[in-house]
């Protein structure tokens, strides 16, 4: 078990955002955190790397109590890609190199530069190396943030809607690369997502939040029209396209009207 969460509770001021949150994740797994806007997905991710301090519960990370670890120890174990990426007057190369900081003792080494180079290549970002991040498009910036988390070589990746600004091709490529890295390096990834079809395609486990609690968790079998309607209040149709399970919003009558 690389990460386990028990009885986690988080409050903003006096308002309970998350309660009774318990789940675990193993090496080589991707977990999708799902649920409506404002339910607490980002808050949960931030509790898993000590950006936020929960009121109760425990988080164990690679055999350590998360709350006993210092910032740099956490940065060696957890890579975090926020929903809104901060910019500044840095080139993409320097911004990504910052991800090596938790591993650098005195100075940047040849190995650090090689790792950064290989991630630029892996994400097909070589052309962006010397571009300034404060002049980048939302999608380019999102790729820089993902690249920075990868050069950290963490054991757990926390990705907050990692493809929200990416075009279709980049979405498929980036999620495919994350899948490959998780499997090859035996790390784990937790991603918040809105697209259930992407979740079905790339995640192994699914956690649906509702009312600040886990409403359902498990493998793909828990993604049913009933669970989705309970969580989002929206009827859906689940079918298959080319052997892949797909979720389509709306009920069959609505779909029929649009197809006529
Ligand atoms: N800094 C803050 N202070 C007070 N309340 C906050 C703060 N940040 C978030 N919240 C509230 O906490 C709740 C959970 O927010 P969170 O960002 O975790 O939701 P989310 O599920 O990630 O939403 P989305 O899908 O829209 O990104 C929301 O009601 C939000 O308004």
How is the chain split into domains, by residue range? 3-223, 224-260
Which pLDDT value is given to residue 253? 65
Query: What distance in angstroms lies between residue 192's CA and the mean position of ligand 1's atoms?
Result: 13
Query: What distance in angstroms lies between residue 129's CA and the mean position of ligand 1's atoms?
Result: 33
Which pLDDT value is given to residue 193? 96
pLDDT digits (tens, 9 = 90+) for 46-96: 999 999 999 999 999 999 999 999 999 999 999 999 988 888 999 999 999
Q: Which long-range contacts (CB under 8 A, 24 or more apart) does 102-109 make?
A: 102/72, 102/75, 102/76, 102/152, 103/76, 103/152, 103/153
User: What number is the average pLDDT over the span 202-229?
Assistant: 97
Which pLDDT value is given to residue 84? 85
Reported pTM: 0.94
Atom of ligand 1 nearest to the CA of 35: 21
Distance CA(76)–CA(103), nearest Å, equals 7
Ligand 1 atom 7: the closest Cα is on which residue? 12
Here the ipTM equals 0.98
Query: Which CATH number is 3-223 given?
Result: 3.40.50.300
């Amino acid at each position: 078990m690389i990460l386990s969460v028990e009885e986690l509770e988080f409050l903003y001021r006096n308002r309970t955002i998350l309660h009774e949150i318990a789940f675990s994740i193993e090496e080589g797994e991707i977990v999708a955190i799902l649920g409506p806007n404002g339910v607490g997905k980002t808050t949960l991710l931030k509790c898993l790397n000590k950006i936020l301090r929960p009121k109760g519960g425990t988080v164990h990370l690679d055999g350590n109590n998360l709350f006993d670890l210092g910032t740099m120890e956490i940065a060696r174990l957890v890579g975090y890609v926020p929903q809104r990426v901060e910019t500044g007057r840095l080139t993409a190369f320097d911004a990504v190199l910052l991800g090596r900081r938790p591993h650098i003792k005195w100075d940047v080494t040849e190995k650090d530069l090689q790792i950064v180079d290989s991630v630029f290549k892996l994400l097909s970002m070589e052309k962006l190396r010397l571009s300034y991040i404060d002049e980048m498009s939302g999608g380019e910036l999102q790729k820089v943030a993902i690249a920075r988390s990868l050069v950290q070589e963490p054991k757990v990746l926390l990705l907050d809607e990692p493809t929200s600004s990416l075009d279709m091709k980049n979405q498929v490529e980036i999620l495919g690369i994350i899948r490959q890295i998780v499997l090859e390096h035996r790390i784990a990834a937790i991603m918040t997502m809105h697209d259930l079809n992407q979740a079905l395609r790339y995640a192994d486990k699914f956690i649906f939040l509702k009312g600040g609690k886990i409403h359902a968790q498990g493998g793909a079998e828990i993604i049913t029209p009933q669970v989705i309607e309970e969580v989002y209040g929206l009827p859906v149709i689940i079918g298959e396209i080319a052997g892949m399970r797909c979720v389509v919003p709306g009920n069959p009558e609505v779909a029929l009207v649009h197809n006529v």
